[in-house]
Chains A and B, each alone.
Chain A
Amino acid sequence: MSFLTLSISLLFVIIPLVLSKTLNLGLEKDTIIASVRSIIQLLVVGYVLQFVFNSENIIYIILMVLLMIAAATQNAHRKGAAIKGIIWKLIVTFTFVEVLTQTILLGLNITPATAQYIIPISGMVVGNSMVLSILFLNRFTSEIETHQDETELILSLGGTPKQAIHTQLIASIQASTIPTIESQKTIGLVQLPGMMSGQIIAGADPVQAVLFQLLVLFLLLTTAVVTSIMLGYLSYPTLFNQRMQLAGSAVERDE
């Protein structure tokens, strides 16, 4: 595809603009901003990737991955504002998931150790880990609030913080990972996964594309489950103080 065909494809931006104008939907400004931003951001990514691929230097690959982890942390940390030191917990989680998956992929020779493989796969892993973190933190914060009485009951009977928060922790881990597992049950029936579609369009053999897609799906299962569990076990202790009391204003509420 050339820049000429890309400019023709701007028609797909003009259609919503015209519709918005005629029907007074007020979407023009945001549509233009979104289009311009996506053009600039993706082109920058494209050129950066081209540079990294050509240089074949491990330092650049690591830098790219660190950048991904930083961006993911930036996006997810607001959801966990109630949890002390959430930024570090997210960084540790993303880094662990990334190292774990790449170790298996590269260690067992499942994918070649080239930027062309490492970077896109890392992007999917870290991106997914970020989504899972947000799902988990949303659920966990609301579970803590709605079940504060049960938590206090267990503490009051001589339970440890871990026992007092166990039900909510497990519920949050389940709730955040179920969408990933469920979505794999219907995959391919309704919609082809975006990455596989892209590969097929770019000329890859469909079966090859499917095999690769399966690898990614399995990878994302590990990503989802490990992210939620790790973040959960890193987070819950900060909700309690040394005296095994529920600490912090984030979990306090009026009776």
Chain B
Amino acid sequence: MTVAGDAIRFEHVDYSTNGLHILKNVTGAISEGKITTLVGPSGAGKTTLFKLCNGLQSPDSGEIFIKDKPIGSYEPVELRRNVGMALQKATMISGSVRKNLELPLTLQGKELAEDSARELLKMVGLDKTDLQKKTKDLSGGQQQKLSIARTLVNQPDILLLDEITSSLDSVSRQDIEELIVNMNEQYGTTIVWITHNLQQALSIGDDTWVMMDGEVVETGESSFLRNPQNDRVKQFVRGEIE
């Protein structure tokens, strides 16, 4: 048996933009093959942390390691295909469902076979959706599902999910949770999942990180959320900080 290493490791990561100090001395490791949930009030810097892992931005100081190699040692394109990201704001490019779904392949000069396209849509619960339908005619929830499927096209080893169930009804939410847990179990995909829903963090996550004001304030096995040590985290789980 091999001992799983770290999928992502942060060492004293600082990041500022437009004069705002957004991430402050972020340090810690995300274990390979696990589901880690990331919770914290809005504005804490969670989305920004994802953008750094996907290489859309670079830290001002400190270092991020992806599978024990400095993030800067990866080619940006290779890094971004391996560290997939689906953001809460499920941005669509104008055009059809199919065009959006196969975007990751179009960028490599390839096409997505019709069967694979249908398969992917089915996985996220969009099996009744016409591939030719314009994405602007989809509901927010449908766009969110499409955005998840699109991220899966690259078959990333590390999957960063940013509030991807926020505009879904509870049935769809459970379907997506099941899908992600399955991917984690079947393919060993490392999952980092930002969620507002503490119940979700408790039920799906192996580990949980709590971020506040750009800092990681408490980490551990998700069950610590039931009885946190840090006073601000206590307030947060009681719903006193939004």
Q: Do A and B bind each other?
A: yes
A contact set with B: CB distance below 8 Å: 149-150, 152-160, 163, 167, 243-246, 249, 252, 254
Residues of A within 8 A of B93 (CB): 150, 153-154, 167
CB distance from B56 to the nearest CB of A (A): 6
A249-B154 in contact (CB<8A): no
A-B contact count (CB 8 A): 61
Chain B 40-75 against A: per-residue CB contact (8 Å), 1 yes, 0 no?
000000000001001111100000000000001000
Q: How many residues of B contact A (CB 8 A)?
A: 28
- Interface on B for A, CB 8 Å cutoff? 17-18, 51, 54-58, 72, 76-78, 80-81, 84-85, 87, 89, 91, 93-94, 103-104, 107-108, 150-151, 154
**Contact A153:B107 (CB < 8 A) given known A158-B81, A160-B77, A243-B76:** no
Closest to B47 in A: A255
Asked if B18 and A252 sit within 8 Å, CB to CB, the answer is yes
CA distance A249 to B19 in the complex (A): 11
Top 5 closest pairs, chain A to chain B, by CB: A244-B76, A158-B81, A149-B91, A159-B107, A158-B80
Asked if B107 and A245 make an inter-chain contact with CB atoms under 8 angstroms apart, the answer reads no
**8 A-B residue pairs with CB within 8 Å:** A149-B91, A156-B51, A156-B54, A158-B154, A160-B77, A243-B55, A246-B56, A249-B18
**Nearest Cβ distance between residue B45 and chain A, in whole angstroms?**
12
Give chain A residues whose Cβ lies under 8 Å from the Cβ of B58. 243, 245
Q: From residue B117, how far is it (CB to closest CB) to chain A in Å?
A: 16
Cα(A150)–Cα(B91), bound, Å: 7
Of the candidates B81, B91, B104, B154, the one having the most CB atoms from chain A within 10 angstroms of its own CB is B91
* Closest beta carbon of chain A to B52's beta carbon, Å: 10
- What is the bound-complex CA distance between A254 and B150, given in angstroms? 26
> Please, how many angstroms separate the alpha-carbon atoms of A150 and B85 in the complex?
14
